[in-house]
Structure 1
Amino acid sequence: MAIKKSIYFPVVLLLMLFLAGCQGSNPDTQVENHKKKDTYLSEKDKMNKQITLSAVGDILIHDRVYDDARVKDTFNFMPMLDRVDSYLKASSVTFANQETMVGGEEIGLSGYPRFNSPYEIGEALKKAGVDVVSLANNHTLDHGEEAIHNAINYWKEKDMMYTGAYESKADQGKLRIYETNEDISLAFLAYTYGTNGITEPENKDYLVNQIDEQQIATEIAEAEKQADVVVLSLHFGDEYERLPNERQKDLVQFAADQGADIILGHHPHVLQPVEWVEGKGGKRSFVIYSLGNFFSGQDEFYRRIGGVLTLTLTKEEKKGEEAKVKISNPQFLPTFVTFTNESDYKVVPMYQLKETDLPDAKKHYNEIKDHMTRWMEELQFPEQ
């Protein structure tokens, strides 16, 4: 991945190029150096390294959503995200589940049940502050290999880290590691429970990662060697169910036992609570069983609710010991998709909703807070 650039005097630029040329590259690792945001530290924390990680759920672009975004011969999704982009940009690293392939208009746009989205949604996410996208979900193969290749070429052009779907076996073999300015690295892994019965072409199982415990265990072990934090994205669970099923819980426990630090769930299209899960050796992993729909055209009440999860990651330096990263300060900003007559779609923080946006808005907001804190009372809800 390319390093984001700034403008310097020529001598400094030459020095930077020389230093960059001296750095080795790992052919089995896709790395992005994070140059976007600084993290503000307290005096106490300046002794340690610290970043924030944010995550949002499903970006599920129905035809009514991209029709609403259409402007002459292009699409403009930015106004739909302008109420939440400051929260996405505020974090050091921001993750999203890109539920629909951005295969572009050349292969035909489509909504449910087999999605294909315009490239411009990817541009909007990039501008809004998203840094990493998961492409492993039940709609990955909706338009076959061509849509996947189109999407990956687009993400590469936009210098966006992607994980979970790949253009080749070699691409699949590259561990996605995101390097930050604070010397904290994050490995991103992603898998899906299935692809709606659509199978990959023969010998092309690299097109999408399916949930396989042996593969997950192997890749977590390798990620632990190369990164400070392992972030596991799992597309699993029962659609529209607000609590995780036993298979979700078992798989999360398995992942925690293997060493996953953060587990981000999605697929149910509704929010499921957060929890600390203790793995082997007593290490705690953070899990959100479902991030819900962040941006979609679904109209049932709970399917319009998503949110921005934010975690603080601190690398604690202790003399004579290997540095470890502590996960703390979990926060969740519930969001709601507003619209009128299948137009004017907007993602809005729930605490900002007015009665004209949603009757009994405050009551609904408090109910969501109760739901998300079911197993973690210390979860905070920013309102600024």
Structure 2
Amino acid sequence: MKRGSIVGLFVVLFILLAGCTDNNDEVLYSNKHESKETMVQQKAPKKIIQEITLSAIGDLLIHSPVFQDAKVEEGYDFTPMLEKVKPYLSNSTVTIANQETMIGGVQLGLSSYPSFNSPYEVGDALKDAGVDVVSLANNHTLDRGEAAIQSAIKHWETIDMMYTGAYKNQKDSENLRVYETDAGISIAFLSYTYGTNGITVPAGKDYLVNLIDKERIASEVAIAKEQADVVALSLHFGNEYERMPNETQKELVQFAADQGVHIVIGHHPHVLQPLEWVTGKDGNKTFVAYSLGNFLSNQQDLYKRIGGILTFSIKKTSQGSENKIEIHSPEFIPTFVTFRQDWADYEVVPMYQLTNEDLSGAANHYKEIKAHMSQWMPELEFVEE
């Protein structure tokens, strides 16, 4: 073969090989580019975790010795009664109380058991102590009629306190109470009572007090789940002075759990009942306090003087369009109402601070209360500082 032909052949082969190499590089680059796009598409959305705390306290039942003890030169002052528990109430992101007596004010005439009407200043003291929401649906809501409810609501609005369970008109009752926290977690507060001590709700004014009705509860819980991250349900139910929940309470709590309620806060027995987790039909866990007892009252017997501050954490995990709510880290501070034998110096005191002068055998009573409250929730912690 001539030298020129050989050279020409090498040139042709070189060009062909070079062309193949260029094409392969393009294919490899294209494959890498497509792979990166696929990785971007499959990357999981960023996970965002937010957390708050919620506290709840039991019944504020303002008997005449309590409001008489609060009398000052001009009006009433209940703030000293809450001074020792204020640090705990104000420390939570949100705190809810069961205001069992209407604060209709002095202009309607103050009154005690069995038909209560309390001073406006009860609300002022709760606000000062750190309470953010009050539940008003209970068996004493209608004690002094519509006038007391309307007067009380006017004052709650004046001091910018969220209220639920009793309303000034139909439009007000249709306005779902949703508490928006700075952390980005919203809580819907619903409240219902078993009855009103035989007092008939005025015709056409069902909005004055929410009565327990499963169909209504299911409907309003469904709306609440659409508008808020967390649904907290206050139920005024059970038998007075019984330390364990009855079957009616358990059945209604199970119904609430089946609707997807996150938290149930119970009132009415005026004594503490244990805490419990209840599993809903979809596998959801509902945190239940069957009864938080009396927080402030003039009831005399030992267990009627014991209440508490319940606190737990609410964690919201968001990823894309998915939100997950978790209730965890429950804590409890048992409290005791102290007062002198002459019905003066009423004060709510954490039980761990009690001396034998305050309550004979204080340490043993405190130990028994801790065992009682945690019997169905062994992870319950007790705050002692």
TM-score by length of 1: 0.87
| Matched residue, 2:329 | 329
Alignment of structure 1 residues 47-86 onto 2, 5 Å: 48-86=49-87
Within-5 A mapping of 1:268-279: 268-279=269-280
Partner of 1:339: 339
Match runs of 1:85-164 below 5 Å: 85-164=86-165
One-letter amino acid of the structure 2 residue matched with residue 283 of structure 1 = N
State how far apart, in whole Å, the 2-side matches of 1:96 and 1:296 are.
Answer: 14
1:7 alignment partner in structure 2:
none
Q: 1:382 and 2:357 equivalent?
A: no
Give the partner amino acid of 2:369: I
Q: What is the distance in 2 between the residues matched to 1:121 and 1:175?
A: 24
- Residue 263 of structure 2 aligns with which residue? 262
- Which residue matches 1:29? none
User: Residue in 2 aligned with 1:362?
Assistant: 363
Post-superposition CA distance 1:160-211 (Å, at most 9, x none): 0000000001110010000000000000000000000001111111100000
- Alignment of 1:239 with 2:240, yes or no, is yes
Q: Secondary structure at the match of 1:281?
A: coil
Q: Deviations over 1:243-269 (max 9, x none)?
A: 000000000000000011000000000
Higher helix share: 2
Count of residue pairs the alignment pairs up: 338
Deviations 1:306-365 (A, max 9, x none): 0000010011133x4512121000111000000012111000000000111011111000
- Please give the alpha-carbon distance, in whole angstroms, between the structure 2 residues aligned to 1:225 and 1:213: 19
| Cα distance in 2 between the residues matched to 1:128 and 1:321 | 37
Q: Give the gaps of 5 or more residues in structure 2.
A: 1-46
Return the letter of the residue paired with 1:68.
D
SS of equivalent to 2:348: strand
Work out the CA distance in 2 between the residues paired with 1:175 and 1:68: 36
**2:311 is aligned with 1:310:** yes
Pair 1:286 & 2:287 matched: yes
Q: Which residue of 2 aligns with 1:178?
A: 179
Q: Which residue of 1 aligns with 2:211?
A: 210
Residue of structure 2 equivalent to 1:352: 353
**Equivalent-residue separation in structure 1 for 2:175 and 2:217 (angstroms):** 14
What are the Cα deviations for residues 190-233 of structure 1, in whole angstroms up to 9, with x where unaligned? 00000000011111111000000000000000000010000000
Which residue identity lines up with residue 323 of structure 2 in the other structure?
A
CA distance in 1: counterparts of 2:347 and 2:259, whole angstroms: 39
Q: Distance in 2 between matches of 1:233 and 1:358?
A: 31
Q: CA deviation at 1:281?
A: 1.1
2: CA distance, partners of 1:344 / 1:242: 27
Letter of the 2:381 partner, please give it.
Q
Deviation per CA, 1:40-81: give whole Å up to 9, x if none: xxxxxx951110000001011000000000012311111110
Secondary structure in structure 2 of the residue aligned to 1:190? strand
Any idea what the Cα deviations from partners look like across 1:66-109, whole Å, max 9, x if unmatched? 00000123111111100000000000000000000000000100
For the pair shown, the structure with the greater C-alpha radius of gyration is: 2
SS at match of 1:90: coil
CA distance in 1, matches of 2:208, 2:110: 20
Segments of 4+ in structure 1 off by > 6 A? none
Counterpart CA distance in 2 for 1:128 and 1:375 is: 30
1:125 shift after superposition: 0.3
Match of 1:166 in 2: 167
CA–CA distance in 2 between the matches of 1:296 and 1:125? 14
Q: Secondary structure at the match of 2:312?
A: strand
- Structure 1 residues without counterparts, runs of 5 or longer: 1-45
| SS state at 2:381 partner | coil
Residue of structure 1 equivalent to 2:7: none
Structure 2 CA distance for aligned equivalents of residues 94 and 237 of structure 1: 23
Q: CA RMSD in A?
A: 0.9
TM-score after normalising by structure 2: 0.87
Distance 1:73 1:110 in 2: 18
- Counterpart mapping for 1:16-27 below 5 A: none
* Alpha-carbon distance between aligned partners in 1 of 2:118 and 2:221, rounded to the nearest angstrom: 31
Secondary structure of the residue aligned to 1:125 is helix
CA–CA distance in 2 between the matches of 1:139 and 1:160? 20
Aligned residue for 1:282, secondary structure, equals coil
